Amino acid sequence: MFKKFIRWLMKFHYRREVQQLIMQYKVAGSSTDRKVWIADYFNAQDKFLNSAALNDLYVNSLPSAPVYIYNDIESTKKIFEQFLSQLVNNAAINTNLLGEFMQNSQSSSIHSVFKEDVDIKEQLLEINKILKQVLAAYEKQTGSFKTMNLPRIIAMFEMFAIIVNRVAEGYLTTE
């Protein structure tokens, strides 16, 4: 009995947290300042992803929903790693690679995006880690490089926000 009560409290806690994250997503999406994706909202996402809310959550337990992504989670992770490498080694993201990323990104079903046999949290944390490194590399830049790279990295953070938001919305229906 006590165990069920504790489990109910945990679900209630995370439900409220997820609802707050979804509200922040809506606020960020309507903001004219695109930097909001790499400031407040990314920190809120990070907190959500590192919480126990998504433990043992697999894609088959989520309802179907569209996500905007570069092919799938693995492809997105790989291209984000390339962007990170370019930022670190060249101080700039190559516009050709960015163009490929933008042109080949599309709306796909959440069920075709994630690996079915891997915990969603694990898959999202891998990309989250890369984005933290992108942010750290960006913070080290100065002057014109910082100005030039800002719109290039915002696209990555916006895409990740869409994915996390769909997972958060799906989480609310799984409880």
CB contact at 8 A, 161 and 110: no
Partners of 109 in the β-ladder: 66
Beta carbons within 8 Å of 41's beta carbon, 6+ residues apart: 24, 25, 28, 157, 161
The rounded distance, in Å, linking the Cα atoms of 76 and 78 is 5
15 pLDDT tier (thresholds 50, 70, 90): confident
Comparing C-alpha atoms, which of 36, 131, 144 is closest to residue 92?
Answer: 144
Q: pTM here?
A: 0.88
What pairing do the DSSP bridges indicate for beta strands 105-109 and 66-70? antiparallel
Two structure tokens written together for 43: 């920190």
In the prediction, which pLDDT does 6 show? 64
pLDDT digits (tens, 9 = 90+) for 76-125: 999 999 999 999 998 889 889 988 898 999 999 999 999 988 999 999 99
Q: Give the 3-state DSSP-derived string for 44-92, with helices as H, strands as E and coil as C.
A: HHHHHHCCCCCCCCCHHHCCCCEEEEECCHHHHHHHHHHHHHHHHHHCC
